[in-house]
Every structure is written in structure tokens, then in C-alpha cells.
Amino acid sequence: MAAKQPARREVGRLEWIVGALGAAIVVAVLGVLTHEALTYHEGAPVLVVKVLDVTPTEGGYVVRFMTENRGPSTAAEVVVAATLTDGDRVIERAETTLDYIARKSDRGAGVILKRDPASATLEIAATSYRKP
């Protein structure tokens, strides 16, 4: 091909495919975001804590749990407090802060207690959060 000729650049099929992929990504993402925007409503986060297991270790009893946000909005700096009670008496208290839990998501965390949680009543619940 003569160098002088200001030929239109030839485009391979692959380039069209990748370009179409990009367009498809944009359209699909916009579709999902629009769907989310339409179904979204401002509401309180619903924070539910579930204990996974308790492992006795040299450093204490490690209580692993999942905090699930079933609500429609994201919560930041979620404080989860664990209290070990025997009747009315609080034996031990521990808490941890989770950076953020997106809506319809969960985060794992743990607290470490000195006393065996099986020997008393263990309660774990989210106690506060901040709007991100």
C-alpha cells in the first residue's frame, strides 16, 4: 500500500468486538444502576448479628460472628457489642467497630472474652452506626 495514500485505517473484527463489549458493559451497568435507583428507598439499616462459633484459645474465647445488613441503606462505623450476663449481673463486655456494611451485605468480625460464653448468657447486637 502506497504510503502517500491517506487510506482509511482498516479495522479488524476484534476491535469491533471489544468496542461492542465496552458499549454492552456501559448499557448493562446503566441498566443495573437504574434498577437499583428505582427500587432504592431511604430507610433504617437492619443490622442482625449471628454468632458463627466460639473457639477457646490461649488468648481467651474467640467468638466469631457475622453482622448482616438487611436494610436498604449502607451503615458505617457499626459498633457491635457483646455482653456476657449471669442473671442481672454483667460479667463481661466487649465491643468492636466495623468500618461499613453495605446494604444487603454482611461482614465477619469477632470479640474475645475471658470467660467461657457457655457458662453464662451471651448477647451480641449492633448498638450504633453512622451514615456514610
Closer Cβ to another protein, 3 or 118, answer by number: 3
Choice from 62, 76, 94, 112 touching another protein (CB under 8 A): 76
Closer Cβ to another protein, 42 or 88, answer by number: 42
Total residues binding another protein (CB under 8 A): 34
Amino acid identity, position 98: L
Query: Minimal distance in Å, beta carbon 62 to another protein?
Result: 20
Q: Does 48 bind another protein (CB under 8 A)?
A: no
Query: Minimal distance in Å, beta carbon 119 to another protein?
Result: 32
State how far the Cα of 68 lies from the Cα of 65, in Å rounded to an integer.
10
Choice from 54, 85, 103, 109 touching another protein (CB under 8 A): 103
> Which chain residues interact with another protein by CB under 8 A?
8-16, 18-23, 25-26, 29-30, 32-34, 36-37, 40, 74, 76, 99-100, 102-105, 132
